[in-house]
Structure 1
């Protein structure tokens, strides 16, 4: 009886650390989504000046590049952190077995986030350039039928690409990924987070460009894309989604191209 009590006391701190890690992770997701919702509604938060949120929502041609990067960064965190749950769960399971520490989990998430913040800068640059060229409007939505068609066709074709297939294979099997690259220490965890971020970017970048069709801050698109990208990474579900969605996107792109061609 005394031995069982001692075991329970030893296990409690590990459980607490894991619970705190999940609370912090989901808290970050919640904050990102609340910020995105505030931007989409142009409803300033109580502790932020109205001009801050307004500057994130006006046209890229009128806003400075910095606020546009901030908008894309929040959008990337809100959409991509939920897709990282399986990998983080696997890593924390290994930490409970004594293979790593809570600090390693923080380093893993930081590495993943760094990749997507870099990708957000690229997305902001693309929106800025397209807005200056008159191809997207104030909400980041395409004003050109040919641009819309190209985005749909490109994203659809990428669903069948070997690069996407290779990245998805790694993302769907996080335990195999960790076993192949495992080494103790936070620096190694940071590197694995960076590698997972690159793999995730390889899976999802083409789908993220579809935000230029309905508007980069369109909450319906963001929610639907987040759900799809999360499900696509699940082995039992994702393998039934990737190719059908690819066919659907290609068909939609062809229809838009035909409509643009015949419309005066």
Structure 2
């Protein structure tokens, strides 16, 4: 049986802890790319106006920017899971090999989010075309996005995926016996799918708030971090769901809540 299983399931005693250098490398591989990604996203957003649709981006460029956004928003909350995996592989690999395996883990995770990015791109095309033809539809699209996000916060899928994201060790133990070929990529993709299941509702609110809305991205990244890492994360998730439901009720009458569904220029008028 592969020894990673024992490494994952062993209690965190001093003798089981990774060397400080290994931990530093593991944390750096997650947090440094997140910081760089935030710099890229902020720079990119500075030259773009929020508007409905894909903001003129074709699919390859959108997916590249989407993946960079996911690195910025998701890697801080992913870091503890990656460190858990690094602990499992720490005694079986050299420093270079550990870095490569953690990188593969993160790459598999991003593949899951890239696939979801395809769905987001399709949704942006559809909503952009609809708002171009009927500008007043934006308020109902926005209300629907907030409503879906709010309902998802209370759904069984959210609870199952959030439990996994908060305590992924059992799943990582199952993967420890995979054959070495692409094992780390598969583990990362598997965890990424759970993360998408946990957070897709949060991500769709970027449609009404604006895909390149830096304030919204930072707020959502904070929500994700708190949900996954704070001991009262599930309670906090419920509160966020209530907030989204309130926003869904307000969106048809408050156009300022929907910057991502308005063309530059005169804002949508409140419904009468």
TM-score (norm 2): 0.76
Cα deviation, 1:23-65, whole Å, max 9, x if unaligned, reads 23222112211110101112xxxxxxxxxxx699996364433
Counterpart position of 2:26: 21
State the 1:197 CA deviation.
0.3
2:54 is equivalent to residue 60 of structure 1: yes
Q: Is the 8 A contact 2:53 2:127 kept in 1?
A: no
Which of 213, 217, 230 is matched with 2:212 structurally?
217
Q: Is the 8 A contact 1:40 1:57 kept in 2?
A: no
| Structure 1 residues 106 and 186: alpha-carbon distance in aligned structure 2, compared to 1, 3 A threshold | farther
Counterpart position of 2:9: none
Counterpart position of 1:147: 141
Counterpart position of 2:82: 88
2:177 is equivalent to residue 172 of structure 1: no
State the 1:129 CA deviation.
2.7
Counterpart position of 1:249: 244
State the 1:250 CA deviation.
1.2
| Structure 1 residues 59 and 162: alpha-carbon distance in aligned structure 2, compared to 1, 3 A threshold | closer
Q: Using the alignment, how far apart are the partners of 1:221 and 1:134 within structure 2? A: 21
Cα deviation, 1:202-245, whole Å, max 9, x if unaligned, reads 00011101012221111111111001101101251312211121
Q: Is the 8 A contact 2:151 2:245 kept in 1?
A: yes
157-166 vs 249-258, greater mean Cα deviation: 249-258
2:54 is equivalent to residue 36 of structure 1: no
176-185 vs 32-41, greater mean Cα deviation: 176-185
State the 1:133 CA deviation.
2.5
Q: Is the 8 A contact 2:142 2:208 kept in 1?
A: yes
Cα deviation, 1:55-110, whole Å, max 9, x if unaligned, reads 99996364433323332222222112222112112112223354996133222111
Q: Which has the higher contact order (CA 8 A, sep 6+)?
A: 2
TM-score (norm 1): 0.78
Q: Is the 8 A contact 2:104 2:184 kept in 1?
A: yes
Q: Using the alignment, how far apart are the partners of 1:88 and 1:162 within structure 2? A: 25
118-127 vs 28-37, greater mean Cα deviation: 118-127
185-194 vs 83-92, greater mean Cα deviation: 185-194
Which of 119, 122, 125 is matched with 2:122 structurally?
125
Q: Using the alignment, how far apart are the partners of 2:158 and 2:165 within structure 1? A: 10
Q: Is the 8 A contact 1:61 1:128 kept in 2?
A: no
Q: Using the alignment, how far apart are the partners of 1:59 and 1:112 within structure 2? A: 26
Q: Using the alignment, how far apart are the partners of 1:143 and 1:216 within structure 2? A: 18
State the 1:179 CA deviation.
2.1
Tell me how many residue pairs correspond in the alignment: 237
Note the residue ranges of structure 1 that are not aligned, 5 or more in a row: 1-10, 43-53, 137-141
Q: Is the 8 A contact 1:72 1:124 kept in 2?
A: no
153-162 vs 111-120, greater mean Cα deviation: 111-120
State the 1:15 CA deviation.
4.2
Q: Using the alignment, how far apart are the partners of 1:175 and 1:193 within structure 2? A: 13
Counterpart position of 2:259: none
